[in-house]
């Protein structure tokens, strides 16, 4: 386990050296997003609602207002099963939240960490649809509106 963590740190440091300077982690996160996420969520984060791929824009940050919502973003299939290591996934989550949904982040937003991702990621969802709908209800009660999520809409409570 320590070896894997050390390799993750080494990869992160290599990226900093290769990309150089301030903003290097953000540049790496954007590149990882394009390679691992944009195929479904598109480069601009708009997703494909008719195909069940939610729009990140002005919405995804709302999840971070709930502990279960923070965990949801780690455990959804696209994130949990991605080829990114835990540090890279934390970096991508932080980047996409600040890029596509900064106004929805809570005051004092706490960035995702490698250890937070490592703790939640192994507990992947068997069925993400009811989890998403439950979080949408909770967030709706707090005044947040999430982007449309048509996947599994026939099972919507």
CA distance 157 to 148: 15
The residue among 102, 88, 93, 95 whose CA lies nearest residue 72 is 93
User: What is the C-alpha radius of gyration for the chain, rounded to an integer number of angstroms?
Assistant: 16
**Considering only 47-51, 63-67, 90-94, 102-106, which range has the smallest mean pLDDT?**
47-51
Binned at pLDDT 50, 70 and 90, residue 119 comes out as very high
Say what the pLDDT of residue 10 is. Answer: 43
CA distance 111 to 101: 14
Q: What is the tally of structural domains in the chain?
A: 1
Q: What is the pLDDT of residues 71-83, one digit of tens each?
A: 999 999 999 999 9
Residue 5 has pLDDT above 50, yes or no: no
The residue among 111, 114, 113 whose CA lies nearest residue 102 is 111
Say what the pLDDT of residue 25 is. Answer: 84
What is the residue-averaged pLDDT of the chain? 84
**Residue 55 domain boundaries:** 2-155
Phi and psi at 135, nearest 5°, equal: -65, -35
Spatial contact of 32 and 96, defined as CB atoms under 8 Å apart:
no
CATH (domain of 7): 1.10.760.10
Say what the pLDDT of residue 152 is. Answer: 57
Quote the pTM value. 0.81
């Amino acid at each position: 386990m320590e070896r894997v963590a050390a390799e993750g740190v080494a990869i992160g440091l290599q990226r900093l050296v290769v990309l150089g300077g301030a903003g290097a982690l953000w540049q790496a996160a954007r590149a990882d997003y394009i390679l691992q996420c944009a195929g479904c969520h598109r480069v601009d984060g708009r997703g494909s609602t008719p195909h069940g791929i939610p729009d990140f824009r002005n919405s995804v940050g709302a999840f971070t207002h709930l502990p279960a919502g923070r965990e949801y973003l780690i455990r959804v299939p696209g994130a949990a099963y991605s080829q990114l290591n835990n540090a890279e996934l934390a970096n991508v989550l932080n980047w996409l939240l600040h890029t596509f949904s900064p106004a929805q982040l809570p005051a004092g937003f706490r960035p995702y960490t490698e250890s937070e991702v490592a703790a939640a990621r192994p507990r992947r969802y068997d069925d993400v649809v009811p989890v998403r709908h439950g979080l949408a209800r909770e967030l709706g009660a707090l005044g947040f509106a999430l982007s449309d999520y048509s996947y599994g809409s026939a099972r919507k409570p």
